[in-house]
Amino acid sequence: MQAGLAFPNKDQDDLLDIHSCYLRLLTLIERLHRQLLEVIKDELERESLDDINAVQALLLYNIGDAELTAGELRTRGHYLGSNVSYNLKKLVDTGYISHKRSDADRRSVRVSLTDKGFEIREIIGGLFERHLNSVEKVGDVHAEMMDTTNTTLERLERFWADQIRFQL
């Protein structure tokens, strides 16, 4: 054996493995979100909807039947603060969302979907339904895999939330 060459031990191998896996996971999360928005954009184009973008359509889908504040949308949907306000204003202006001041807190504005907003929600819901009907056959992704992935992502979300909350 040549002097000066170090062979990694088991702990170093494990560290290198988790390092590369974590960085790959971060890249995939970002790329998958962008691809989802592209898929939604394509669906909106097929439906000849040009007054709404993919982020706004996903926002409508996630609001659903609820009546929420912008703050609640940020926490539930994990949208960035200024983007939520901007997108909500656009959605109100284009008639997809209605808004009203909260009776309990006059500073707070509650939003809900209009009939036009529910139409977009139905379109996106139909898109997701089509995906569900083919993801296993075409994508070779089955429920067990998704369940494991969901568990991993939920744990990672909790880990990141703790990093922020406890300033770790």
Structure tokens at 91: 């959605």
Chain mean pLDDT for the chain: 88
Alpha helix positions (H), 69-142:
70-77, 81-93, 115-134
pLDDT digits (tens, 9 = 90+) for 104-139: 776 778 899 999 999 999 999 999 999 999 999 999
pLDDT at 80: 63
Q: Where are the beta strands (DSSP E) in the chain?
A: 68-69, 97-101, 109-113
Which domain CATH number covers 64? Answer: 1.10.10.10
The answer to the question of residue 123 being in a domain is yes
Helix (H, G, I), strand (E, B) or coil at 80: coil
Domain that residue 118 falls in? 19-153
The answer to the question of residue 162 being in a domain is no
Tell me the whole-structure pTM to 2 decimals. Answer: 0.83
The answer to the question of residue 27 being in a domain is yes
What is the rounded distance in angstroms from the CA atom of residue 66 to the CA atom of residue 112? 6
pLDDT at 1: 44
What is the rounded distance in angstroms from the CA atom of residue 114 to the CA atom of residue 120? 10
Task: Per residue of the chain (168 residues), give pLDDT as tens.
Answer: 444 445 555 566 666 689 999 999 999 999 999 999 999 999 999 999 999 999 999 999 999 999 988 778 877 765 666 688 889 999 999 999 999 887 777 677 889 999 999 999 999 999 999 999 999 999 999 999 999 999 999 999 999 989 999 987
pLDDT at 2: 46
Domain count, the chain: 1
